[in-house]
């Protein structure tokens, strides 16, 4: 009897934990999976095509790195009930506040353009003209937010996160050598040819796609909009860990896909890879194209919301997805204008899209160090964080991560501006 009672107690406890997690799940998974946006997929596809499986271990390391950075936004949002933009204004004053806000909006808008480039180029593979993609996607994204409930928006976004897993069956279809994949995933090593400038550039590009400024702003605002409090921090952290796991899984399977079939083939972007894969197996190319569209879509909804939340927090507009359009017109107007203008740029004949793609990295480099430094300082502010401030161990890990990211992302930004600065 005692055994059955204990079993029932454990079952109830596990069931309750799962139920609680399903309620709290959202911001962490969404931000992490959306991190594998159109630009991210292009980076992974190019990494696989150039280095095969040799850099899988590096992605495995980047998972915990992304987790440690993002979980800080969960604590900050849950304790202070402020979004990242508002928190910076409040703590550091108007100068740093405006710098962060305007830089964020510029970086987000440019990144949005790259998401639309990804979506239009993937849909072009299926014969859909870019203007139809832009119009339909903008309407869909506007429809997702104007329905007036954060919960509904989050569940639709989670559905799109599920579509992002399309790379997993695609990678299984190509029968990769499991032993090589596992070895490359757990044993850090350099690809044949050793440490070259190309490899350095690729490693930095992978870091750049894993930690982006908009992610900090998005997750903290989402935590606040969802109404998470101090008691939800553990669940929010677990949600972020699950998201970090999925972001690595998606990226790894993307690399496995191109590393198996397109190794040695020069790949400029993910859409080109999808076309090449269609020549080998039409299902693989279709999977990659669907995945690219989904990545751009997820990236676009999160990035445009990150900016709209940030502007709403600072300007004092009603800025919750739980508020109807008529009660917060500026928030929804800003969101829609951001999407429509970024989509419109892609449709301009001869628009400098390649330049915009490169510029995104440079602008992100100006914002990322500031956002990360502010995050560390805010997490060490005992007055506002109380017992949830960073401990010694967290500070050692987080400051170490932030310093490495700042140095590498700066070098990446410089190498984008001056391609020959580190030699050929």
Partner 1 sequence: MQSKFREFFIDGIRNFFREMVGNIREINRRYEKPHIRTTPMVRFCLLALRGYLIVLVGILLYKFITVIK
Contacts of 4 (CB under 8 A, 6+ apart): none
Give the shortest CB-74-to-partner 1 separation in angstroms: 20
- Structure tokens that stand for 260 in this block: 């198996």
Mark the segment that binds partner 1 (CB under 8 A) among 63-71, 88-96, 119-127, 261-269: 88-96
CB-wise, 156 or 358, nearer to partner 1? 358
Cα–Cα distance for residue pair 214/196, rounded to 1 Å: 30
132-191 residues in contact with partner 1 (CB under 8 A) are none
Mark the segment that binds partner 1 (CB under 8 A) among 35-43, 54-62, 274-282, 362-370: 362-370
89 contacts partner 1 (rule: CB under 8 A): yes
CB-wise, 174 or 358, nearer to partner 1? 358
CB-wise, 28 or 213, nearer to partner 1? 213
Residue 187, φ and ψ in degrees, nearest 5: -110, 110
358 contacts partner 1 (rule: CB under 8 A): no
Mark the segment that binds partner 1 (CB under 8 A) among 170-178, 225-233, 335-343, 377-385: 377-385
366 contacts partner 1 (rule: CB under 8 A): yes
48-77 residues in contact with partner 1 (CB under 8 A) are none
Q: What is the greatest pairwise CA distance in the chain?
A: 76
Q: How far apart are the first and last CA of the chain?
A: 74
CB-wise, 57 or 96, nearer to partner 1? 96
Give the shortest CB-325-to-partner 1 separation in angstroms: 19
Give the shortest CB-388-to-partner 1 separation in angstroms: 16
CB-wise, 7 or 94, nearer to partner 1? 94
354 contacts partner 1 (rule: CB under 8 A): no
365 contacts partner 1 (rule: CB under 8 A): yes
Cα–Cα distance for residue pair 118/115, rounded to 1 Å: 5
- Structure tokens that stand for 152 in this block: 């509904």
Contacts of 131 (CB under 8 A, 6+ apart): 347
417 contacts partner 1 (rule: CB under 8 A): yes
Q: Which of 152, 197, 281, 381 binds partner 1 (CB under 8 A)?
A: 381
Task: Give 3-state DSSP helix, strand, coil % of the chain, rounded to 5.
Answer: 80, 0, 20
Q: Is-contact 186 56, C-beta < 8 A?
A: no
331 contacts partner 1 (rule: CB under 8 A): no
Contacts of 337 (CB under 8 A, 6+ apart): none
Cα–Cα distance for residue pair 163/140, rounded to 1 Å: 16
Contacts of 417 (CB under 8 A, 6+ apart): 362
Q: Is-contact 353 362, C-beta < 8 A?
A: no
Q: Which of 295, 370, 379, 405 binds partner 1 (CB under 8 A)?
A: 370
Mark the segment that binds partner 1 (CB under 8 A) among 7-15, 84-92, 207-215, 293-301: 84-92
Q: How many Cα atoms are found within 13 Å in the side-chain-facing hemisphere of 387?
A: 3
196 contacts partner 1 (rule: CB under 8 A): no
Contacts of 363 (CB under 8 A, 6+ apart): 103, 106, 107, 110
Nearest to 52 by CA among 230, 162, 176: 176
Q: Is-contact 243 32, C-beta < 8 A?
A: yes
Question: What size, in residues, is the chain?
Answer: 424
Cα–Cα distance for residue pair 98/85, rounded to 1 Å: 9
Give the shortest CB-91-to-partner 1 separation in angstroms: 4
Mark the segment that binds partner 1 (CB under 8 A) among 14-22, 240-248, 259-267, 360-368: 360-368
CB-wise, 222 or 363, nearer to partner 1? 363
Give the shortest CB-6-to-partner 1 separation in angstroms: 49
315 contacts partner 1 (rule: CB under 8 A): yes
Binding site for partner 1 (CB under 8 A): 89-94, 96-97, 99, 314-316, 362, 365-366, 369-370, 373, 376-378, 380-381, 383, 406, 410, 413-414, 417-418
């Amino acid at each position: 009897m005692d055994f059955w009672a204990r079993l029932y107690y454990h079952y109830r406890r596990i069931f309750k934990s799962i139920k609680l997690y399903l309620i709290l799940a959202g911001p962490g998974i969404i931000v992490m999976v959306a991190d594998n946006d159109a630009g991210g997929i292009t980076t992974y596809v190019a990494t696989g095509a150039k280095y095969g499986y040799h850099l899988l271990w590096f992605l495995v390391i980047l998972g915990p790195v992304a987790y440690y950075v993002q979980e800080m936004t969960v604590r900050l949002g849950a304790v202070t009930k402020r979004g990242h933009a508002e928190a910076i204004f409040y703590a550091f004053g108007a100068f740093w506040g405006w710098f962060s806000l305007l830089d964020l909006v510029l970086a987000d808008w440019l990144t949005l353009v790259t998401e639309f480039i990804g979506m239009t180029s993937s849909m072009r593979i299926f014969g859909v003209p870019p203007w139809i993609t832009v119009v339909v996607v903008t309407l869909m994204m506007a429809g997702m937010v104007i329905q007036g409930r954060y919960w509904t928006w989050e569940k639709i976004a989670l559905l799109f996160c599920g579509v992002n897993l399309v790379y997993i069956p695609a990678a299984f279809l190509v029968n990769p050598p499991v032993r090589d994949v596992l070895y490359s995933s757990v044993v850090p090593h350099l690809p044949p040819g050793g440490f070259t400038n190309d490899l350095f550039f690729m490693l930095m590009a992978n870091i750049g796609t894993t930690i982006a400024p908009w992610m900090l702003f998005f997750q903290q605002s989402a935590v606040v909009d969802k109404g998470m409090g101090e008691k939800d921090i553990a669940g929010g952290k677990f949600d972020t860990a699950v998201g970090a796991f999925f972001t690595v899984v998606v990226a790894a399977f993307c690399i496995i896909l191109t590393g198996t079939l397109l190794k040695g083939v020069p790949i400029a972007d993910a859409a080109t890879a999808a076309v090449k894969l269609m020549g080998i197996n039409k299902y693989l190319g279709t999977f990659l194209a669907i995945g690219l569209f989904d990545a751009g879509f997820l990236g676009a909804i999160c990035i445009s919301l990150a900016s709209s939340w940030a502007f709403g927090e600072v300007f004092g507009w009603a800025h919750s997805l739980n508020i109807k359009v008529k009660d917060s017109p500026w928030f929804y107007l800003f969101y829609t204008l951001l999407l429509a203008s970024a989509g419109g740029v892609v449709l301009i004949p001869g628009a400098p899209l390649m330049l915009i793609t490169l510029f995104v990295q440079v602008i992100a480099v100006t914002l990322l160090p500031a956002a990360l430094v502010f995050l560390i300082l805010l997490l060490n502010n005992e007055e506002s964080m109380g017992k949830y401030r960073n401990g010694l161990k967290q500070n050692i890990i987080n400051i170490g991560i932030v310093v490495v990211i700042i140095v590498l992302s700066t070098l990446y930004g410089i190498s984008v501006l001056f391609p020959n600065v580190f030699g050929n």
